[in-house]
Amino acid sequence: MKYLPCLAAFLVGSFTAFADGPADNVAEKVRPVPPPGVKIPDAVREELTAGVGALGKEIDALRNSLKGKPALLELLPDVQIYHKAVDWALRYDEFFNTNQVNTARNLLKQGGERAAALREGKSPWLTQTGLVARGYQSRIDGSVQPYGLVIPASYVPGPSQPYRLDFWIHGRGETLSELSFVDGVQKSPGQFTPPGAIVLHLYGRYCCANKLAGEVDLFEVLEHAKKFYFIDDNRLVVRGFSMGGAGCWQFAVHYPGVFCAAAPGAGFSETADFLKVFQKETVQPTWFEKKLWHVYDCTDYALNLYNLPTVAYSGEVDSQKQAADMMEKALAAEGMKLTHIIGPKTGHSYEKNAKEEINRRIDAIALKGRDVLPEHVKFTTWTLRYNQSHWVTVDALEQHWERARVEADI
């Protein structure tokens, strides 16, 4: 898998956003994202700062003491995610409610417990079932990144049988932080927990719909998780809702040969119409911005769903139904039909019966698994950044940023 650190670094930091609607007065409309946190008492800040310092010293000591034990040293990010979550909340003013003070205390305690286990040569969380927080070191920038796992009670460590894995891409949350994410993945299994499957919750660098740096994160997380869990490469499912639905569309159309199924819900799938419909924004891109939308707009890659079973979902009265409607239109232009489950009289959420229907369809597809050698492949791309579908690889383009199409038969 190719990485683009120069692009990926773009969405690592904070940014600003406009309120919905056209910006009549930019000074009034611009707001920081994430917003400033709440003030915590000085004594509490001192307490947490001391806790962060103590855990940091533990991590440094482990880094030295485990140099000759690479298998244990590799688990250090599983401790570091707790330290970083609290350290960054303090450093960047990311306590968004007073309850998060106790959250921080609890995470420091958990980090200390994992550090103590590593000192004794143990790692009990590797065989833990249920909700598990994990961490890895990213090759993009060397940072430690968290992710969450839902490990089924039936899981048996070791090469007994490969397990289906479902990626979940979270929705937008301007007060999301590593503090709330690490805490959350240890408390809630999320929207979908297929029987016998592992569910992997992506952090994806805050709220960028797992694009750019967040896109690379999925493949780095998968690589990391496969070192510790027996995962079936032919039963990888990508799911997401709201902003996570946008991320799901992104992975589905750009990497159609990786997953056995995709289940995007709501979200956005392209730029111009979404901004017009959802944000009432008049878009006037420069020629190069419009051209670069071809790396981003999923409607440009709709053909690639020919080889990836996709079950889209929208609430009937959700404005973000626009995403699946646009993909449906793009697929129709290719002579294809999108499977689109609609929750009747439902806004921006999953309707109970629709959710059951999505599960029924995705579970049936995942049971069958990915077709690793389809007889017929249809593939389109605008850039060599995305150049593979199953057994087809495009290794050169006559003209970059113009559509390339492949139809191949065995």
Q: DSSP letter for 10, please.
A: G
Calpha distance 107→171 (Å, rounded) = 23
Do residues 146 and 81 lie in contact, with contact meaning Cβ atoms separated by under 8 Å? yes
Burial of residue 159, with CB atoms counted within 10 A of its CB: 0-12 exposed, 13-18 middle, 19 or more buried = exposed
| Sole residue written with tokens 């059951």 | 356
DSSP three-state, residue 261 = strand
- For the whole model, what pTM was predicted? 0.92
Do residues 268 and 198 lie in contact, with contact meaning Cβ atoms separated by under 8 Å? no
Tokens (6 digits) for 267:
């979200």
> In the prediction, which pLDDT does 285 show?
93
Q: DSSP letter for 170, please.
A: -
Q: Residue 350: which of 409, 256, 255, 266 has the closest Cα?
A: 266
Calpha distance 217→148 (Å, rounded) = 13
Residue ranges of E strands in 171-289: 198-202, 231-241, 261-265
| Sole residue written with tokens 């921006």 | 348
Would you say how long the chain is, in residues? Answer: 410
> In the prediction, which pLDDT does 282 show?
85
Calpha distance 125→54 (Å, rounded) = 22
> In the prediction, which pLDDT does 157 show?
84
**Which stretch of DSSP H or E encloses residue 42?**
helix 42-65
What string of pLDDT tens digits covers the 410 residues of the chain?
A: 333 333 333 333 333 333 333 333 344 467 888 999 999 999 999 999 999 999 999 999 999 999 999 999 999 999 999 999 999 999 999 999 999 999 999 999 999 999 999 999 999 999 999 999 999 999 999 999 999 999 999 998 877 789 999 999 999 999 999 999 999 999 999 999 999 999 999 999 999 999 999 999 999 999 999 999 999 999 999 999 999 999 999 999 999 999 999 999 999 999 999 998 888 888 899 999 999 999 989 999 999 999 999 999 999 999 999 999 999 999 999 999 999 999 999 999 999 999 999 999 999 999 999 999 999 999 999 999 999 999 999 999 999 999 999 999 99
> In the prediction, which pLDDT does 33 show?
87
Calpha distance 152→199 (Å, rounded) = 9
Residue ranges of E strands in 77-208: 130-137, 144-151, 163-169, 198-202
Residue 77 CA: distances (Å) to CA of 130, 142, 327, 365: 20, 11, 39, 34
